[in-house]
């Protein structure tokens, strides 16, 4: 079964260690990010945006809790 959210993320997220954290921008001047899978917005400024999620140790990639649960097994995601 193909999920619309899968767009080749397995190339860089296969077996990735993701840590659950409060959202923080990759660079100070960035104000938001999007879930690697469903594009849900992470932001501290936007009303209704996600305030926490699963992220790589450098805070470059962000995955929402729903997608983490959905793709954890398929991609072999680990807790960072």
62 in contact with Zn ion (CB under 5 A): no
Restricting to residues 4-33, name those near Zn ion by CB under 5 A.
Answer: none
50 in contact with Zn ion (CB under 5 A): no
Minimum CB distance to Zn ion, residue 63 (Å): 6
Give dist(CA 41, CA 62) in Å, integer. 9
Cβ-proximal residues to 2 (8 Å cutoff; 6+ apart), any chain: none
Minimum CB distance to Zn ion, residue 4 (Å): 11
Strand 78-79 relative to strand 17-22: parallel, antiparallel, unpaired? parallel
Applying CB under 5 A, the residues found at the interface with Zn ion are 35, 37-38, 40, 64, 67
């Amino acid at each position: 079964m193909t999920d619309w959210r899968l767009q080749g993320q397995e190339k860089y997220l296969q077996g990735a260690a993701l840590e659950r954290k409060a959202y923080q921008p990759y660079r100070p001047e960035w104000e938001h990010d999007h879930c690697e899978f469903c594009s849900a917005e992470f932001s501290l400024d936007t009303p209704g945006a996600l305030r926490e999620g699963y992220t790589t140790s450098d805070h470059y990639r962000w995955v929402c809790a729903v997608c983490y649960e959905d793709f954890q097994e398929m991609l072999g995601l680990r807790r960072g």
